[in-house]
Structure 1
């Protein structure tokens, strides 16, 4: 006992900070980080992380309250990030508020601390880390790169607005410039989305009239724009939200890391993409809250996607979370197709094709790959990567364990089969987005259950896959969508207002060959704006059973003639034992490029079948 006691005394005296049973406890207060001081905490956090790096395990305790981060004294590092790297020669170096580089067994204990960043910064980077838990932190921008204003009054020639206090502007020669710490928006790159509080819906809008007209400022924060507003989509009471579209930052980056837990994380604003996880393994997100602080009066929390997973593997779990106020999709899970530019025996050259995704380590030795026909999206061969060589920032050379298949043609692609995740999306709420709730493309088992999708502007759930546009892979093979609520989704996609869309980007079909398979949609409740319910293309074994569908004539889309179910080149579709509200419009199932034997819809008196 004496030896153990002495050992613990010696252990407790090593380095700065306290030790508890071999785990180093680092209190940021000891480094001068005090709540609500409004001083720059960046240098102190760097010192604390340096001390944590020498420990086998460490807890870093934040002080609570508000702490502020400026670029001065903060680390900076070059990062190429999926769907984020702009296609230009400008520097990709990013300033990082909290950088964990090559660390393991670290817990960031937030205690509800609000981290307020000044200027464009990545809030947090986990770079080649293992066993990291981040909990109880809140992130925001002192000046978000999103500007917002409420329409108070409008005519065909004038719009009077009240600008949110967090949105800074400068008026010169009757023209307005929106600016922040170290940046200003370029008028021609401004993208606008407006929010209608009365309906809790969001729509694309045109900022052009505000650029071309003149602006007057009768009082600070109150502006009068004069110009041509005759055909403007928005109306009095709407919130206009707009940004420069250039993506040069993000919220949190999980970069080639493993075993990451994000719990009780609040994201009140993120510039660029949101939380991007690329080529990372085993990510668990629990009680994420993506929403502006109530006292800010703002509407938008995410410049683009809230959560974006690219080339991840192991298991992704997102549960008990809220997604409210994004300018793009709430969750996007995908891999990346790379185009084969050259083939010679066991060697192939592959190229990143999308302009915002490049210079990534997309393969490593031992990865399994599949060859994909870009026209049909069907696979026709596989191989194992023996080695990877970098030719340029956009092109890699892969040495394979076998020659490329004879079927290989120009514009065909490869998909990394190893870097595909199992997925669980559970007990979340999706709201206040003009695009999609969930994009899901993974070959492994996926469960989407007990979620609420509330008035997503486009499809609540989109299962895509393509080799020609975004190059986001790949097919799904085992998806369960159960016990969710879909409430009036898809209004921005009229007339194709399908809450669920299985829509691979192909129009070339081969007999008895399908892109997606084994999709079960059961026990859900749908409340529809208009008749469209399910769109499915090139899919095998779709089960749509035990769902409740409420709808009927809609004041929003009274003339919709779209079918309830649209099936294109599908087989093994079963539509049975669903409960439709009595006032629901005519129940049409439309088939295209398939035989009617490919769908079993039970009592044929309740449906009208159209076969094109």
Structure 2
């Protein structure tokens, strides 16, 4: 072969390779990139922009743990989780900043399709899954959601407790509980979405988990999907969420070709904070189309099994967050608060007895807790407290003191916009639209063991539109929701300069509050100004537009 001919063959080979469809290069190891730079002593780490497909290690795709005074710049960086388990752990960190990261999942933690048949009793739906959405994985009917075909917004909040049968890889049969017999406005042709999980070695919920951390800042972090909550924090102080966003990803830049755009962003809450001594700040954040609340902030109730003098036998909600020296209060089964006291000592106690297990099953609690609560403790108080058996105990120093929700945008959720069980906070300059429950709800919840009553809260300058229930609800009840808690359960709440648009009356519903101030709130219906409708029960020290309101006791 001549040298000239040989060169021509080489040239043709290179041209052929250039046009061949070759697989993309392997994704760089994002965890190793960060760990190497930390090991080199870098405190400001800039991650090269790009898409990083990650494989979870011990059910977590990326870990930032035990870091102090570190800044991670991830502008233009996308973390694609290859299994529907935890995306990011931020645990035991201090003064950590994470900027610019986008997180998504492939496979998605949900699948979606179209209703092709509805049974005569309206209980059973046949579903054809849409091209490009998961057909494998474990399908869970925690939140079966049905959307309108024209607006792609929720037709109904969601159905719970459904049964799912796979007819074929891309066909499902979903049966609603009997209580929905001959009920429901869904139609053939409506698009649906339902949870679908695929994790090879087990599943950890939530996309981003913060735990035992202080002064963490998440800036311009975007979540397009999550197997449960988006951002969750436990036992953290002074977390700042700045311009963080939860939304459904548009079809134009989705990870793969799909027959239709996504209906859902996350499977559950967008932002959730538990047990924060100093509360989080949500500044210019947004959340929409997730499967539950936009923002929830609370501490935890624990269940009192019995008591003798100043010794309480207590069943923990999950892990026990009470400690020696904590100031604690109580809410009894009628929703009545009992005075502040201090924990003198706390220690593990003997396991649940069979009668206790049987009694717990009779309580109006989520079955999730009835099945999982097992850890008992002996709590010694500094003074005796006569309390009913099924009273609740909570630490008042873990109530997200000083939280802020400012300049946010929250919309299109099957549940609440903002759910608040926290102290000395401010909610202002937010836009809240199309919540299928209350837009702003302030209330302890026995069902979820979510503490507690609220002291010092300002709700101001918010625009609330198209709320399916009360735009603003401040309330407290006993365990069976038959008793409204007395005035002074909540204290010092101001609701001022809010605009409520096209929402049902009462626009503001308030109970159980001492020193309640309402001022300059406005309402509109179909563009016309109307007086805001107020419903106030069992409150004291109420002022409406500068005038005393008769006590409702």
- Work out whether residues 467 and 504 of structure 2, in 8 Å CA contact, stay in contact via their aligned partners in 1: no
Deviation at 1:505, TM superposition (A): 2.6
* 1:168 and 2:143 are equivalent in the alignment: no
CA distance in 2, matches of 1:99, 1:469: 33
2:139 to 185, 192, 196: 185
* 1:569 and 2:538 are equivalent in the alignment: yes
CA distance in 2, matches of 1:153, 1:351: 46
1:272-421 matches, cutoff 5 A: 272-295=228-251, 296=254, 297-343=261-307, 347-353=311-317, 358=318, 360-386=319-345, 388-389=347-348, 394-397=374-377, 400=380, 402-405=382-385, 407-421=386-400
- Unaligned segments of structure 2, at least 5 residues: 1-22, 255-260, 352-372
CA distance in 1, matches of 2:394, 2:193: 37
1:186-335 matches, cutoff 5 A: 189=141, 191-196=143-148, 198=151, 200-204=153-157, 211=164, 233-235=185-187, 238-243=190-195, 248-295=204-251, 296=254, 297-335=261-299
| Larger relative contact order, structure 1 or 2 (CA cutoff 8 Å, min sep 6) | 2
* 1:514 and 2:488 are equivalent in the alignment: yes
1:489 to 467, 472, 482: 467
1:535 to 506, 509, 513: 509
What is aligned with 1:433?
413
**Change in CA separation of 1:323 and 1:238 when aligned onto 2, cut-off 3 Å:** farther
Deviation at 1:574, TM superposition (A): 2.6
What is aligned with 1:139?
103
CA distance in 2, matches of 1:463, 1:369: 20
**Change in CA separation of 1:568 and 1:103 when aligned onto 2, cut-off 3 Å:** same
Three-state SS of the structure 2 residue aligned to 1:458 is: coil
What is aligned with 1:90?
none
Deviation at 1:416, TM superposition (A): 0.8
* 1:545 and 2:514 are equivalent in the alignment: no
CA distance in 2, matches of 1:226, 1:403: 54
Three-state SS of the structure 2 residue aligned to 1:404 is: coil
Three-state SS of the structure 2 residue aligned to 1:518 is: strand
1:17-28 matches, cutoff 5 A: none
CA distance in 1, matches of 2:161, 2:450: 31
CA shift digits 1:214-237 (9 cap, x unpaired): 67x9xxx7x798999986522366
Deviation at 1:486, TM superposition (A): 0.7
Q: TM-score, normalised by structure 2?
A: 0.77
Q: TM-score, normalised by structure 1?
A: 0.70
Q: Aligned pairs, how many?
A: 484
CA shift digits 1:112-139 (9 cap, x unpaired): 2111111122111111221111110000
CA distance in 1, matches of 2:340, 2:163: 53
CA distance in 2, matches of 1:521, 1:142: 43
**Change in CA separation of 1:401 and 1:516 when aligned onto 2, cut-off 3 Å:** closer
- Work out whether residues 470 and 503 of structure 2, in 8 Å CA contact, stay in contact via their aligned partners in 1: no
* 1:474 and 2:452 are equivalent in the alignment: yes
Three-state SS of the structure 1 residue aligned to 2:230 is: strand
What is aligned with 2:364?
none
Three-state SS of the structure 1 residue aligned to 2:32 is: helix
- Work out whether residues 428 and 452 of structure 1, in 8 Å CA contact, stay in contact via their aligned partners in 2: yes
What is aligned with 1:581?
none
CA distance in 2, matches of 1:427, 1:276: 20
What is aligned with 1:602?
none
CA distance in 1, matches of 2:399, 2:163: 44
Deviation at 1:335, TM superposition (A): 0.6
**Change in CA separation of 1:230 and 1:363 when aligned onto 2, cut-off 3 Å:** closer
1:573-592 matches, cutoff 5 A: 573-576=542-545
CA distance in 2, matches of 1:155, 1:342: 49
CA shift digits 1:250-278 (9 cap, x unpaired): 11111111111111001000102221111
**Change in CA separation of 1:550 and 1:199 when aligned onto 2, cut-off 3 Å:** farther
**Change in CA separation of 1:185 and 1:298 when aligned onto 2, cut-off 3 Å:** same
* 1:457 and 2:441 are equivalent in the alignment: no
CA distance in 1, matches of 2:147, 2:130: 14
CA distance in 1, matches of 2:337, 2:175: 51
What is aligned with 2:258?
none
Deviation at 1:341, TM superposition (A): 2.9
Deviation at 1:433, TM superposition (A): 0.6
CA distance in 1, matches of 2:116, 2:485: 56
Deviation at 1:38, TM superposition (A): 6.3
- Work out whether residues 477 and 485 of structure 2, in 8 Å CA contact, stay in contact via their aligned partners in 1: no
- Work out whether residues 306 and 312 of structure 2, in 8 Å CA contact, stay in contact via their aligned partners in 1: yes
Deviation at 1:102, TM superposition (A): 2.0
- Work out whether residues 300 and 327 of structure 1, in 8 Å CA contact, stay in contact via their aligned partners in 2: yes
**Change in CA separation of 1:204 and 1:262 when aligned onto 2, cut-off 3 Å:** same
Three-state SS of the structure 1 residue aligned to 2:505 is: coil
Three-state SS of the structure 2 residue aligned to 1:63 is: coil
Deviation at 1:346, TM superposition (A): 5.7
CA shift digits 1:526-577 (9 cap, x unpaired): 11243321111212222222122112699xxxxxxxx932222122223338
